[in-house]
Amino acid sequence: MWKRFNARFRCWLGAAAMIAALGACDVEKLRQDNQGENTVQAQEAAAQQSRNAVPEPGTIRNFWRPADAATSRVTGKLTASLERGRSGPLALAFVNGITLRLERLSKGNAGVLAGGPAQGSFAAMLRVEDDALVFVYRVLSEDVERVAPLGGLCGKTKTTHVAVVEASTEDGVLTFKVAAFSGEAEPGASETVDAQLCAIYSFVLA
């Protein structure tokens, strides 16, 4: 009888040990899965923080002068600033009597299409490298004073969006470029819808 009991007891102990081992494996696997998920989440959060840390274009170096005759004629010199400190919106004030208040919609590499194949990429449009960072904004307001000789950025038509890039030329000259659009579609949001480009304005540091 004792032999039979001992055999059963040893079998029970062995089964219990196997169950405990399996449970420990499950716990370790769950811990590793959670650790991996936490690592991915931490990496995504760090990447998002890095993207958000990029300042609005033109705000570190605020004062810009026209780089060509057409820009000088329509806008004159430019001052870029953020209203209410870092929270924005971005304001572009042109000395010829035009002021834009802008809400950022997106930012990304300039190599993407700006709005329909006919317009090509932001890089081709603004003559910057494909990896230059372009910001797309909705125009919250465009104040055009009577002294503005040719109206707003799109002339007599309402400016609805702008794409802005701050980049250096091959010669190391820092430039600030503004592409103005009059369409309802957000530039860069669709590869088939025309964003209706009006004009491009170029500036260098004042």
How sure is the predictor about 88, in pLDDT bands with cuts at 50, 70 and 90?
confident
Model confidence over 22-76: pLDDT tens digits? 455 555 665 666 565 666 565 554 444 444 456 788 778 889 999 999 999 999 9
Is 99 domain-assigned? yes
Same domain, 41 and 100: no
Number of domains into which the chain is organized? 2
Token duo for residue 43? 């990496």
Number of other CB atoms surrounding residue 36 within 10 Å: 10
What percentage of the chain reaches a pLDDT higher than 70?
71
**Structural domain includes residue 58:** no
Q: 3-class secondary structure for 8-26?
A: HHHHHHHHHHHHHHHHHHH
- Please tell me whether residues 102 and 176 are part of one structural domain: yes
Phi and psi, residue 69, nearest 5°: -65, -40
pTM over 0.85: no
Summarize pLDDT for 103-126 with one digit per residue, the tens: 999 999 999 888 766 678 999 999
Do 42 and 75 lie in one domain? The reply is: no
Q: What is the DSSP letter of 127?
A: T
pLDDT at position 2, please? 46
Q: What phi and psi values does residue 147 have, to the nearest 5 degrees?
A: -75, -15
CA distance 15 to 62: 75
CA gap 189, 101 in Å, rounded: 21
Residue span of the structural domain in which 128 resides: 63-205
124 and 22, same structural domain? no
**Assigned domain for 23 exists:** yes
Question: Does 47 share its domain with 67?
Answer: no
Instruction: Name which residue leads in pLDDT, 46 or 196.
Output: 196
